[in-house]
A and B are shown apart, each in its own frame.
Chain A
Amino acid sequence: MTIHTEPLKSVSDIERTTLMTFLPGRIATMFGGRRWRSLAPLAVLVVLCLLIAIANPNFIELRNLVRLANSAAVPLTLAMGLTFIILMGSIDLSVEGTLSVSAMVVVLLAANDSNGNDYGWWAVLAAIVAGTAMGFVSGLVQTMLRIPSFMATLGMWFIGLGLSVYMLGGSAIRLNDASIRELALARFLGLPLAVWVATGAFLLAAVIQYHTKLGRHILAIGGDEDVAKLSGVNVVRVRVTAFALAGFFFGIAGVLAAAQLGQSHAVIGDGRLFAAVTAVVVGGTALTGGEGGVVNTLIGVLIVTVLANGMILLGISPYIQQTVQGLMIIAAVALSLDRVRLRIVK
């Protein structure tokens, strides 16, 4: 037989097979060490936690861990949506715009200090629908008008931002609906509900990515769109669905953000895009598409959040913190990508 595969040198096969039996194929592949690089983010996370814990033992106090989980909730939910887009080899810059629209919708429709509405959980539903709709529109603009996702979503960012600031009348409006505020205030098993919502978002994203046709087609498009098309994948439908899905997650994140702040204002989305992109990239999802996934992103979000939390604990100036985050995103791309194999850098 002259036909054979050439498995890349790596972890022993035995180790791989035992892992394989426990995990679905793709995740097992990731941890099976076919590419040692995919384990790097996890190692970074562990080392980071150890270093911070040594420098300041308060880090591993229960109170701090809860705070950490709480501050990871919104970024995690956002990054779940963004992961699908980046996996396709596209980008969604509308994160902040969509989040602010969704936060605006929930605040204005639920009990608030500006108008007489009091639709309760219908407001939450409406906010998520609004987010999904914005993603859907981004997807349509990209596929039907054939505008690159970068431009299409850059436009949606500012449309969303403008819309929400206009509707809020330029000021902060308080969210008075007690049951929605519970998302941030009430706890279950010691953790705020928002953390559970984010966990749910992660599980949902994981199921979509690893167990559905949509997830696989997103990966295929990121790998080679032409081939996917030839194989009968409906590329337009997958793209539009993926953007709508991302909008759905941004919508949930908007509700969580409004609940956590107890209000909505013009700058509720500030900095969220950077944090989400950093988390996805630091987790090891390739910007070129086709590599990585939501499990990577979970680790990425934890790295970003732990680092931010650690720097606060160590009393580092906020400006330095920003600089560190900027360095981190470049370093992550440098380490995670097989740049030698990347033929062109644009």
Chain B
Amino acid sequence: MTAMLSASGIIKNFPGVQALRDVSIEVRPNEVVGLIGENGAGKSTLMRVLAGSYRPDGGSLTLDGEQLRMRSPRDAARHGIGMVFQEQSLVLNLTVAENIYLGEEDRFTRFGIVNWRAMNAAARRQLAKIGIDIDVTARTSELTFAARQMVELAKALTLEEVVERQLLILLDEPTSVLNAADIEVLFARVRSLKSRASFVFVSHRLDEVLATSDRVYTMKDGAVVAEHRAADVTAPELHEIMVGRGLQAEYYREARQQAPRGTVMVEAKGLGANGAYHGVDLKIRAGEIVGIAGVVGSGREEVTRTIGGFLQHDAGEMKIAGDAVRFASPEPAVRRGIGYVPRERRLEGLVMFLSIAENISLADLSSVMRHGAIDYGKERRLAADWIKRLRIKAPGPDAACRKLSGGNQQKVVLARWMTAGSRILVLDHPTRGLDVGAKEEVYELVRDLSAQGVAILLISDTLEETIGLSHQVLVMRDGEITARFDASPGNKPNQVELLRAMV
């Protein structure tokens, strides 16, 4: 089959980093192409080149056999190329319809006046086409993450109203903020839209990639190292190509799981907060990992936020190491030795203009102080150690965080909290956006911490991870705990049991 879009010999340099070196890929009509690779491999950079937001330093693009030169995302749009970005890219204070047609208002404008009614109607039609039921006059900030993702997809698809040729839609980690059910919905849409558009999508979930795409490219260090038909390859094989070593049978390091024997570090009795959850009883011992499973809105996020000090409880009691507490802010929680690894890492976790070293030491400066002054050598050594351990792809400890790839930024935040010497750690989706190799490192680290007696509360994107890591799994639904499972090695509950209690 002939290619619709082909990129050959693409090179992209950033100061000090060659993000893409001689990358060639092609996308055929009505095809879904998967793009995988470790954090920092250059996936987002390649997507941005294809979407016209970066200009390559070398190489060429052709579309339907014709040379393609793009200077902006607008140019790309004119050629039928649309992108959904890794970081969500909707303006939250605008309505859904306004977002879908942002930058395209001219189509609804006569004599300088925009016809909102026509725009809303068009947006409604567009959403109906992909089978989504969202109020187009709602403010985008009121939508769930999943709904926003659908709006972004709809926005990219509106190109078909103005472009004659088949569309190419680029999806950069569209699923990393979605839960399992919403991912299913998204991919069902992608499959049903295949007759009208081709897709390239980036994801760290190899199963998902294989199930959805026709072909898969694997990137490593700014180059494509493998190309497979999805039917011809398995997830473990891809894993090996990406990481350079086989998938360990013991992915979650269950053999290292030891029965907790320490004192109770976190105890909640009849805990409740403002309608978000109620009657929550839980106990976490030193060295114990407690996972909470539940769908969005089950209240599990709020429970973790209460322990982290971001949400005050208004019923029941919470004891930290035996003392009754009620946190009005995260600061007293930190003082009691609670570390919180936030989910919105880009927003809550990093000071983008500071270096990796400065970000890692931020929560616990005392660890790098000597005689009352910051010991820069020590700070950089600490950071260098983490860069090696978590395989953070960066020029060095002094690199500014804003220049790192999305997944590498997350690793920096993780490193900070794991270094802060917390006795209690709340892990809010700790592996979101991380590549498979880095995930293993995080699991290893979680086991280390547990062995050192740190009490850990975990909520995660996948049930598998929750079950694999935890000593005990709680299931929440509608703000209540509906089931408790012991999850000692050899006695792990299965996903079906959990799901039954979740929905």
Q: Which residues of A have CB within 8 Å of B53?
A: 230
**Which of B139-147, B208-216, B241-249 lies on the face that meets chain A?**
B139-147
Which among A211, A223, A232 is the interface contact of B91 at CB below 8 angstroms?
Answer: A223
B92/A224 in contact, CB under 8 A: yes
**B373 interface residue (CB < 8 Å to A):** no
Chain B, residues 409-447, CB within 8 Å of chain A (1/0): the string is: 000000000000000000000000000000000000000
Residues of A within 8 A of B147 (CB): 3-5
Number of chain B residues close to chain A: CB under 8 A:
43
CB < 8 Å neighbour of A232 from B92, B94, B104: B104
Q: Which of chain A's residues have a CB closer than 8 A to the CB of B142? A: 5-8, 34
Q: Are B134 and A2 in contact (CB under 8 A)?
A: no
A20 at the interface (CB under 8 A from B): yes
Q: Among B77, B94, B138, B146, point to the contact of A220 (Cβ < 8 A).
A: B94
Whether B132 and A3, one on each chain, are in contact in the complex, defined by CB atoms closer than 8 angstroms, is: yes
A223 pairs with B143, CB closer than 8 A: no
Would you give the 0/1 interface string for A56-76, flagging 1 where the beta carbon is closer than 8 Å to chain B?
Answer: 000000000000000000000
Contacts of A226 in B (CB 8 A): 89
- The answer to whether A3 and B134 have CB atoms under 8 Å apart is yes
Using a Cβ–Cβ cut-off of 8 Å, how many residues does chain A contribute to the interface with B? 35
Q: From residue 437 to 487 of chain B, which have CB atoms closer than 8 A to chain A?
A: none
Q: Are B132 and A220 in contact (CB under 8 A)?
A: no
Contact assessment for A213 and B94 in the assembled complex, using a CB-CB cutoff below 8 Å: no
Contact A213/B114 with A3-B182, A228-B102, A231-B102 known, Cβ cut-off 8 Å: yes
Query: Does A212 sit at the interface, judged by CB under 8 A?
Result: yes
Report which residue of B102, B104, B144, B147 has the largest number of chain A beta carbons within 10 angstroms of its beta carbon: B102
- In the complex the two chains form, is B116's CB within 8 Å of A25's CB? yes
B113 touches which one: A26, A207, A231 (CB < 8 A)? Answer: A207
Contact indicator A227/B89 (Cβ below 8 Å): yes
Q: With A and B bound together, what is the CA distance between A3 and B153 in angstroms?
A: 13
Check if A25 sits within 8 Å of B137, measured CB to CB.
yes
**Inter-chain contacts of B105 with A (CB < 8 A):** 213, 216
- A307 at the B interface (CB under 8 A): no
- A291 an interface residue at 8 Å Cβ cutoff? yes
CB distance A216 to B143 under 8 Å? no
Q: Which residues of B81-130 have CB atoms within 8 Å of chain A's CB atoms?
A: 85, 89-95, 98-99, 102-106, 109, 112-114, 116, 120
CB distance from B79 to the nearest CB of A (A): 13
Least CB distance from B339 to A in Å reads 20
* Beta-carbon contact of B137 and A227 below 8 Å: no
B134 touches A230 (CB 8 A): no
Q: How far is the CB of B297 from chain A (nearest CB, A)?
A: 9
Bound form: Cα–Cα A6–B113 in Å: 31
Known contacts A3-B182, A5-B138, A213-B114; decide if A25 and B120 are in contact (CB<8 Å): yes
Contact partner of A7 among B102, B138, B181, B347, CB < 8 A? B138
Partner of B85, one of A6, A29, A230: A230
Interface residues of A in 290-317 (CB under 8 A from B): 290-291
Residues from chain A with Cβ under 8 Å of B134 in the complex:
3-5
Could you tell me the distance between the alpha carbons of A7 and B147 in the complex, rounded to whole angstroms? 12
**Is B61's CB within 8 Å of the partner chain A?**
no
CB <8 Å contact, A291 and B91: no
Residues from chain B with a CB closer than 8 A to the CB of A7 are 135, 138, 142
* Residues from chain B with Cβ under 8 Å of A5 in the complex: 134-135, 138, 142-144, 147
Tell me, in angstroms, the Cα distance from A216 to B95 when the chains sit together. 11
- A228 partner, pick from B74, B91, B150, B182, beta carbons under 8 A: B91
Q: How distant is the Cα of A228 from the Cα of B72 in the complex, in angstroms? A: 13
**A212 to B: closest C-beta gap in Å:** 6
Residues of A within 8 A of B116 (CB): 24-25, 211
Q: Is A219 a contact of B77 with CB atoms below 8 Å?
A: no
User: Is B73 in the interface zone, CB < 8 Å from A?
Assistant: yes
In the assembled complex, the CB of A186 is this many whole angstroms from the nearest CB of chain B, namely 31
Cα A188 to Cα B381 with chains together (Å): 78
Instruction: State whether the Cβ of A262 lies closer than 8 Å to any Cβ in chain B.
Output: no
Instruction: Say if the beta carbon of A233 comes within 8 Å of chain B.
Output: yes
What sequence of 0s and 1s flags, for each residue 1-24 of chain A, a beta carbon within 8 Å of any chain B beta carbon?
Answer: 111111110000000000010001
Q: Are A290 and B113 in contact (CB under 8 A)?
A: no
Alpha-carbon gap, A213 to B103, bound state (A): 8
Shortest CB distance B184–A (Å): 8
Q: Are B133 and A3 in contact (CB under 8 A)?
A: yes
Q: Mark A191-221, 1 if CB is under 8 A from B, else 0.
A: 0000000000000000100011100110110
Q: Report the bound CA distance from A207 to B109 in whole Å.
A: 13
- The verdict on B185 contacting chain A, using a C-beta distance below 8 Å, is yes
Q: Which chain A positions have C-beta within 8 A of B99?
A: 231
Residues of B within 8 A of A269 (CB): none
| Neighbouring B residues of A211 by C-beta, 8 Å | 113-114, 116
**Interface 1/0s, chain A 220-245, versus B by CB < 8 A?**
10111011101111000000000000
Q: Is the CB of B138 within 8 A of A2?
A: no
Cβ–Cβ contact B103 & A222, under 8 A: no
A2→B143 contact, CB < 8 A: no
Residue of B85, B89, B92 most packed against chain A (CB within 10 A)? B89
Chain B residue at minimum C-beta to C-beta distance from A228: B91
A2 to B147: give the CA distance in the assembly, Å: 9
Contacts of A8 in B (CB 8 A): 142
Q: 15 A–B contact pairs at CB < 8 A? A: A1-B133, A3-B133, A3-B147, A4-B133, A6-B143, A7-B142, A29-B95, A219-B91, A220-B94, A228-B91, A230-B53, A231-B89, A231-B91, A231-B99, A232-B102
Where the two chains meet, the residues of B that have a C-beta atom closer than 8 Å to any C-beta of A are: 53, 72-74, 77, 85, 89-95, 98-99, 102-106, 109, 112-114, 116, 120, 132-135, 137-139, 142-144, 146-147, 150, 181-182, 185, 347
Top 10 A-B residue pairs of the complex, sorted by shortest distance between their CB atoms = A232-B103, A223-B93, A223-B91, A290-B93, A231-B103, A213-B105, A231-B102, A232-B74, A227-B89, A224-B91
Inter-chain pairs besides A213-B105, A232-B102, 8 sampled, C-beta below 8 Å: A6-B142, A7-B142, A213-B112, A217-B102, A219-B94, A223-B91, A228-B102, A233-B103
